[in-house]
């Protein structure tokens, strides 16, 4: 049985040392799609923060050749502030018992990562979105015990290798679906209790994929009273994807159909699918979005959402999915989540700029730039 590591309050200074810590920043999230990062996009948008997620089982193919690790460290060396979410790989299954062979294998992977990133990344999120990855039936005391144990492992490694004024801050995450009362259960309560009781943890991470900005307030109402006053929160991703998805089976704008010869009976998801198969001109893509009232009326959601987060005075950094993902068009169906509409950079639905760089989403880019100030 692996000996449980206990880190005392005497190490609190290591977690809170250094005056420079993010306060209300907005950055670009790439998840594990490291090949999507184009520094031209970041420079044009003014983004100063980059987030990626690392599936730890990938390390079995070699730590030094891992694309996520190489790219997040490269971004750090280029002067970007960085967030790395650790994804332990238990999608659709249950994490192993603490002390088991499978757990020790996870610890070995974890130590390999920590040896490269501790002191180099700014925010390390322990967990990606385990409350989505692990089925509800498998989220019990052993689920909590697993994540608490790996958190202690991270804390111990940082104390050993980066104890004084360490650049790397630790967060537990990410909590999801907190707008639903049923999701605020005893497993989540224990998660928050651990965050509050562990001095080396800076706070908790959340992901707010909701229908309206107002829905995100339920997350803040829940997490903030359950943390120490000095603790902050990180938002690893946020969107109004529920609203985008709800409208995918709606009729396309009449003026758009007339101008571009689309069938009057076409639905929005079919237009998005067509754009992924053969990219539209930037003008055509912008017209489709701007003529869609359900999106045009929410084109300032980025600014509105950031105001909700910043008004708490306790946001460290929030990152939004920066580019359209690499999912093929044939995966898009009437009921599929419409993530393609949420990205700041339109790498697939619109043709590239003359210089080869990707186009920006007309609805989000101006507010994204303004929020960097």
Domains of the chain: 22-240+298-325 (3.20.20.80)
Tell me, yes or no, if the pTM score tops 0.85: yes
Q: Render pLDDT for 154-168 as a digit per residue (tens, 0 to 9).
A: 999 999 999 889 999
Buried b (16+ CB within 10 A) or exposed e, 244-256: bbebbeeebbeeb
- Rounded to whole angstroms, the Cα distance separating 33 from 124 reads 18
Model pLDDT, residue 328: 65
Could you tell me the pLDDT band of residue 18, with boundaries at 50, 70 and 90?
Answer: very low
Preceding peptide of 174 cis, ω within 30°: yes
pLDDT digits (tens, 9 = 90+) for 160-213: 999 889 999 999 999 999 999 999 999 999 999 999 999 999 999 999 999 999
Write down the pLDDT at residue 336.
82
Residue 328, H or E segment: none
**Interatomic CA distance for residues 26 and 167, integer angstroms:** 19
């Amino acid at each position: 049985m692996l000996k449980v590591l206990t880190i005392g309050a005497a190490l609190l200074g290591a977690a809170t040392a250094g005056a420079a810590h993010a306060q209300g920043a907005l950055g670009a999230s790439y998840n594990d799609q490291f090949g999507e990062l184009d520094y031209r996009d970041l420079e044009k948008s003014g983004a100063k923060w980059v987030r990626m997620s690392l599936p730890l089982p990938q390390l079995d193919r070699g730590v030094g050749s891992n694309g996520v690790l190489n790219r997040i460290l490269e971004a750090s060396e280029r002067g970007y502030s960085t967030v790395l979410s650790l994804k332990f790989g238990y999608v659709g299954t249950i994490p192993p018992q603490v002390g088991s062979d499978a757990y020790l294998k996870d610890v070995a992977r974890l130590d390999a990562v920590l040896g490269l990133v501790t002191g180099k990344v700014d925010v390390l999120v322990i967990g990606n979105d385990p409350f989505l990855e692990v089925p509800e039936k498998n989220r019990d005391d052993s689920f909590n015990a697993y994540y608490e144990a790996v958190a202690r492992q991270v804390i111990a490694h940082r104390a050993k290798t980066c104890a004084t004024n360490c650049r790397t801050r630790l967060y537990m995450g990410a909590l999801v679906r907190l707008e639903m009362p049923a999701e605020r259960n005893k497993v989540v309560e224990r998660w928050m209790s651990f965050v509050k009781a562990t001095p080396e943890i800076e706070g908790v991470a959340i992901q707010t994929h909701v229908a309206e900005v107002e829905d995100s307030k339920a997350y803040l109402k829940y997490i903030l009273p359950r943390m120490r006053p000095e603790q902050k929160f990180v938002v690893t991703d946020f969107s109004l994807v529920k609203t985008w998805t709800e409208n995918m089976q709606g009729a396309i704008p009449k003026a758009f159909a007339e101008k571009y010869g689309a069938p009057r009976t076409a639905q929005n998801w079919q237009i998005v699918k067509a754009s992924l198969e053969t990219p539209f001109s930037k003008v055509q893509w912008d017209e489709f979005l701007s003529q869609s009232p359900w999106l045009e009326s929410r084109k300032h959601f980025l600014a509105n959402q950031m105001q909700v987060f910043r008004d708490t005075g306790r946001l460290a950094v929030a990152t939004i999915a920066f580019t359209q993902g690499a999912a093929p068009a044939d995966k898009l169906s009437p009921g599929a989540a419409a993530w393609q509409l949420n990205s700041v950079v339109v790498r697939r639905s619109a043709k590239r700029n003359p210089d080869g760089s990707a186009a920006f989403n007309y609805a989000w880019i101006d507010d994204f730039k303004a929020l960097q100030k």
